[in-house]
Structure 1
Amino acid sequence: MIPFLVVKTRSGFSYIRPDHVLAVNSSEPGECMILLTHGVTIAAAEPAEDVVARLEAEAREAEEALQIKENRNHGHVPR
């Protein structure tokens, strides 16, 4: 299943795929603009730091899952 990142907007919530995020632009202290692939933008009603922190956490989790899978494929299983 593809993980989605929940982003608070003025009119509710948006669900975005982290791998489609190109940039996060901080416009005001409590708001930011998220630029996605294909020129799609989302005006988020939360600080850019919060969005970026969640994106980084999602990327770390994906890397760890991939590393575990690669280790199992090569016969290395954590003890």
Structure 2
Amino acid sequence: MIPFVIVKTKAGFAYLRPEHVVAINASDGDDCMILMTDGVTIAATEPAEDVVARLEAEAEAEDHAVEAIKEHNRHGNVPNRD
């Protein structure tokens, strides 16, 4: 499943794919501008720290999932004999 991060905007909510976020501009304490690939910008109505924290949490969860897959593929169904 494709992971999305939900961001509150003036018009409702935006669902972002974390790998497409390029930068976050903290223009004010209560809002921020999210720059995405292909020049798309999203005006969020929440602090940049909150958005960055959710993006980092999603990236960490994805890293753990990749490591679990690598570990499973390394050993297959045979227990580690080392």
Determine what percentage of the aligned residue pairs are the same residue. Answer: 57
Alignment RMSD:
1.2
Return the alpha-carbon distance in structure 2 between the equivalents of residues 50 and 10 of structure 1: 16
Larger Rg: 2
Which portions of structure 1, spanning 4 or more consecutive aligned residues, are displaced by more than 3 angstroms?
none
Q: Which amino acid aligns with 1:26?
A: A
Q: CA deviation at 1:11?
A: 1.1
Partner of 2:24: 24
Higher strand proportion (structure 1 or 2): 1
Return the alpha-carbon distance in structure 1 between the equivalents of residues 4 and 72 of structure 2: 26
Unaligned runs of 5+ in 2: none
Partner of 2:70: 70
Is 2:40 the partner of 1:40?
yes
Q: How many pairs align?
A: 77
Unaligned runs of 5+ in 1: none
